[in-house]
Amino acid sequence: MECVTSPSYSIALNGSLYGKFAGKKGLRQGDPLSPFLFVLCLEYFSRLINLAANRDRFAYHPKCAKFNITHLAFADDLMLFSKGDCNSVDVLLDCLNKFSRCSGLRANLKKSSLYTAGISGQKLVNIHRLVNMPIGSMPFKYLGIPLAAEKLKAVHYVSLVEKIAGYINAWANCTLTYAGRTELIRSVVQGVECFWLSILPIPGTMIDRITNICRIFLWGERKALVAWKNICLPKTEGELGFRDVKTWNLALLAKVLWNIHDKRDSLWIRWVDQVYLNGASVWDWTPAKGDSPLLKRIFEIRDIIVKKEGTTQLAIANLNRWFAGEISGCSKAYEYFRPRGIPKVWANEVWRHYIPPKHSFILWLGIKGRLQTKDRLHYMDIDQNCALCGTAPETLDHLFFQCNITNQVWLQIKKWLRITRAMTTIKSTLKYMKKEARGTSWQSRAKKSVVACTVYHIWTARNRRLFEGTVVTSDGIIREIKTQVYKIMFSLYPHVLVQYEHLALGH
C-alpha cells in the first residue's frame, strides 16, 4: 500500500504550488503498478458480468451471442454490449453498481455514452432513462481509431492527417538539410501512419493529403525537384526509398487477410470467422452489400493476389512465404505490390553508409540532373552565366567539369588520389569509380567518398557565391573536400591514421 498512500498532491495556482495533500487511494500517474491493479480489478468485473449474463433476463447483443461477449476492456476504456432491451441493460448496470460498491471505482456517467442501433421510439427513451448517460453517435474513437457502423468518410481520417501535420509543423521552422527532412519523413511520419494503415483502408484523398504534407516539407512550396511517385522507389532503383502510402496500406492489410486465413487465435479473427464467414473458407467467401468495409477491402486484396498468381493455391503460398513466422512479412508483401523502376548501377555508390547523407543527397540530385543550375531557371530573369567563373552559361556539366575553377578542383583531387581518367559528367564519374575503386580498402573508400564530397562542395561554393557573394577559389574548395574526405576516413579507420596521413596533407 506504500505506493498508494505515499504520494502527496499540491495545487498549481498562478504558476506556484500551494498546499500538500496526502494520497489515500489511487496511484501516482504513470505508476507501473497501475496496469497490474487495473487488470486485477477488471478480472473481478469480468467474472461478475459473465456470471450475471447467464441469468434469464439477460440477452446478448446479436453479433456477440456466438462468443458470449459481454464486454471489452483496454487500458481505461470499457465497452459493454447487450441486446437493446431494458432487462439486459439493467443487468449490466447492476454489475457496474456492484463493482462500484466493492472496489470504490465508479463509472463517470458524464464521460460515458450510450450507443444503439436499430432501436427507436419509446424503447430507446426507456433505455436512455435507465442508463442516465448521454446518447453518443458513431463514429467514436477507441484506442485513437474511429469506430463506425458504416464506411468511414474522409472527414473521419482528419485526425490522422492532423497528427502527421503536427509532427511536421514542429520541425517546419528548423533549418534542416534535404537529408534531415528525408529522415524525418521516413521515421516519424511513416511510423505514425503505421497503426492506422494496418487496420483501416485509407481513402485516396487522405493519402493525397498526407503525401502533399510530406512533399511540401521536403521541397518547400516550390515545384518538387523529383516527382513523389519516383521518390517512393527503392534506393537500388536510384530513388529515396520512401514507402508509397497506398501500397504500404495494401501490404499491411494483406497481413489481416493472412491472419483470417491462418485462423490466428484472436477474438476478432474468431469473430470474423463465425459472424461473417460462418465457417466458410476465406478464399470462397463473397462479401454481402452491408458487410464491413474493412473486410470488403481485405477481400479485394485477396482477389488482387489470386488474379496476379493465377490460382488460390499460389496466392496462399505467397502469403505463407511473407507472413508465416516472419516479423518482416509486411515488408515482403510491400515488395510484392510496389511499383517497379529500373535498377541503377550507380545507386550503391551514392548511398554509401560512410558518406554524409547531405552529400549523398546533393550527389543524387546531381546524377538525376535536378540541381537547379541557371539553365534550368531560364524562365527567371537572371544572369545565365556560371556563378563561379562568369564566362559561360551555367549548365550542370559546365559547373561541375568544364568551368575553369572546378576543372582545377578535379585536377588536384585526381592527382591527390592518383586517378588518371578524365571526368566529364557526374554519372560517368560515378560509374568509373565503381570499377576503379573496388573492395573496402581505405584507398577505394577514399575514392568513393571523394566524388560525393567534390560535388557537394562545388555546389555549396556556387551557392555561397550566388546568394552570399562570397568569393571562392579552387584552392578553397579543394581544402574543404580534402578535410571532408579526411573526416570520413578518420571515422572509418581511427587507428590507422599514419597510413593515410598523406591523403589529408595532399602529398
Residues within the interface to Zn ion (CB under 5 A): 386, 388-389, 403
CB of residue 476 to Zn ion, shortest distance in Å: 15
Nearer to Zn ion, 275 or 389 (CB): 389
Neighbours of 163 (CB within 10 A): 15
CB of residue 421 to Zn ion, shortest distance in Å: 22
3-state SS assignment for residue 58: coil
Neighbours of 492 (CB within 10 A): 16
Q: Give me the amino acid identity at 438.
A: R
CB of residue 410 to Zn ion, shortest distance in Å: 13
CB of residue 452 to Zn ion, shortest distance in Å: 21
Nearer to Zn ion, 159 or 463 (CB): 463
Nearer to Zn ion, 50 or 408 (CB): 408
Nearer to Zn ion, 337 or 400 (CB): 400
Nearer to Zn ion, 99 or 400 (CB): 400
Question: Of 479, 501, 473, 478, whose CA–CA distance to 489 is shortest?
Answer: 501
Nearer to Zn ion, 3 or 389 (CB): 389
CA atoms within 13 A on the CB side of 213: 25
Nearer to Zn ion, 218 or 388 (CB): 388
Contact, 347 vs 365, CB < 8 A? no
Nearer to Zn ion, 386 or 430 (CB): 386
CB of residue 393 to Zn ion, shortest distance in Å: 9
3-state SS assignment for residue 333: helix
Nearer to Zn ion, 190 or 406 (CB): 406
Cα(337)–Cα(20) distance, integer angstroms: 60
CB of residue 472 to Zn ion, shortest distance in Å: 11
CB of residue 183 to Zn ion, shortest distance in Å: 33
Contact, 324 vs 404, CB < 8 A? no
Nearer to Zn ion, 168 or 396 (CB): 396
Residues 6+ apart with CB under 8 A from 75: 35, 38, 143
CB of residue 329 to Zn ion, shortest distance in Å: 52
Question: Counting runs of H as helices and runs of E as strands, what totals does the chain give?
Answer: 22, 6
Instruction: Identify the DSSP state of 110.
Output: G
Nearer to Zn ion, 187 or 404 (CB): 404
Nearer to Zn ion, 250 or 458 (CB): 458
- Per-residue b/e over 378-413, b at no fewer than 16 CB within 10 Å? eeeeeeeebbbbeeeebbbebbbbebebbbebbebb
Question: Of 89, 32, 42, 35, whose CA–CA distance to 61 is shortest?
Answer: 89
CA angle 251, 257, 260 (to 5 degrees): 150
Question: Of 355, 350, 383, whose CA–CA distance to 366 is shortest?
Answer: 350
Cell triple for 404: 575553369
Nearer to Zn ion, 49 or 386 (CB): 386
Beta bridge partners of 142: 145
CB of residue 503 to Zn ion, shortest distance in Å: 27
Dihedral sign, Cα of residue 351, residue 357, residue 359, residue 363: positive
Q: Are strands 71-74 and 77-80 parallel, antiparallel or unpaired?
A: antiparallel
CB of residue 371 to Zn ion, shortest distance in Å: 14
CB of residue 443 to Zn ion, shortest distance in Å: 31
Contact, 52 vs 80, CB < 8 A? no
CB of residue 387 to Zn ion, shortest distance in Å: 8
Dihedral sign, Cα of residue 390, residue 393, residue 398, residue 399: positive
**C-alpha 2: how far from chain center:** 41
Beta bridge partners of 141: 146
Instruction: Identify the DSSP state of 117.
Output: S
Cα(199)–Cα(95) distance, integer angstroms: 32
CB of residue 400 to Zn ion, shortest distance in Å: 10
